[in-house]
Structure 1
Amino acid sequence: MALIPPMTGEVTIPMKASPEEVWSLVSDVTRIGEFSPETFEARWTRGSTGPAVGASFKGHVKRNGVGPTYWSPCQVTACEEPRLFEFSVGTDDVTVNNWGYRIEPDGSGGSIVTEYFRLSAALPFRLYWLFLGRLRARTNEKGMRTTLERMKAVLES
């Protein structure tokens, strides 16, 4: 067993919605509050108005759904309609982690959707992950599953 668990995680679920429909939903960051158990709102910032590489937004977060709230600055790092939407969380100088969605057609008109995260490999984050990684990974997995299941319910209704 590795001393430091993998600093990544992902959850995949099928959805009875086209990749275009899924991409439209996951790339509209202003709707994340409907789905995420931790990020209850987001808004485009710095003149950005929609998904594009380099676009900025901020997410209003309540970690684990409890405690104080804070705003996290984010920047879109990959935007390939209808298959990939990814963003970094952090400042212009320090990326804390990346979150994203991969969308693949399932061959029958639906999609296979994966939400994933990847923590920065910088030393402070490796130390954080060494001590809290297993717990945080479980929390992230539960949150990603909840987010995807809520999105699925909207897309399939």
Structure 2
Amino acid sequence: MPDLSESITVSAPATSVYGLVSDLPRMGEWSPECTRVTWSPRTPGPAAGARFVGHNRVGAIRWFTFGRVVDAVPGERFSFSINFGPVPISLWTYDFASLDAGCCQVTESWTDHRPAALRALFRPLFGDRTRRNDRGIKVTLERLKAAAEASGGR
């Protein structure tokens, strides 16, 4: 069960919004923390099993993470796991539900997989991760909605 989950209604088809989310190199356009994503040349995405590097920033602090696509079902679900080296960090999931009139509901969820010791270690640097991600999810969904509706989902 996710630690956080938020939904938004978007005036664009689920398959179109899925296309935006699954184009991970564009994630920096929506996320307030992720600045860019690069696919691994060995396993380019957005297919299940594809690997990528995420570049992130909070204030002056910058770091990178390693990700792997877990689910890639067009128009339904896109999820990826995040690790920092060998340490599991989180699971991010986007679920898409088609609604009437070419609209969809997008639900973004975050599941914290960090070991307790890592949570304690990074809290002084990043603050309350749950609170930060709660705000981040809302910003990401609002920006995604604006982009999808401005472009008709393309």
Q: Given the two structures, how large is their TM-score scaled by the length of structure 2? A: 0.85
Q: Distance in 2 between matches of 1:73 and 1:145?
A: 23
Q: What do residues 58-106 of structure 1 show as CA deviations (whole Å, max 9, x unaligned)?
A: 110013xx02211111001111111100001105743111111011011
Q: Which amino acid aligns with 2:128?
A: L
Q: CA RMSD in A?
A: 2.5
- Correspondence for 1:100: 93
- Correspondence for 1:26: 21
- Correspondence for 2:53: 58
Q: Does residue 39 of the first structure (1) align with residue 34 of the second (2)? A: yes
Structure 1: 4+ residue segments shifted above 2 A: 91-94, 121-131
Distance change >3 Å, CA 124–CA 46, structure 1 → 2: farther
Identity of aligned residues (%): 30
Q: Distance in 1 between matches of 2:142 and 2:123?
A: 29
Q: Does residue 143 of the first structure (1) align with residue 125 of the second (2)? A: no
Q: Distance in 2 between matches of 1:104 and 1:15?
A: 10
Q: Distance in 2 between matches of 1:128 and 1:117?
A: 20
Q: Given the two structures, how large is their TM-score scaled by the length of structure 1? A: 0.84
- Correspondence for 1:3: none
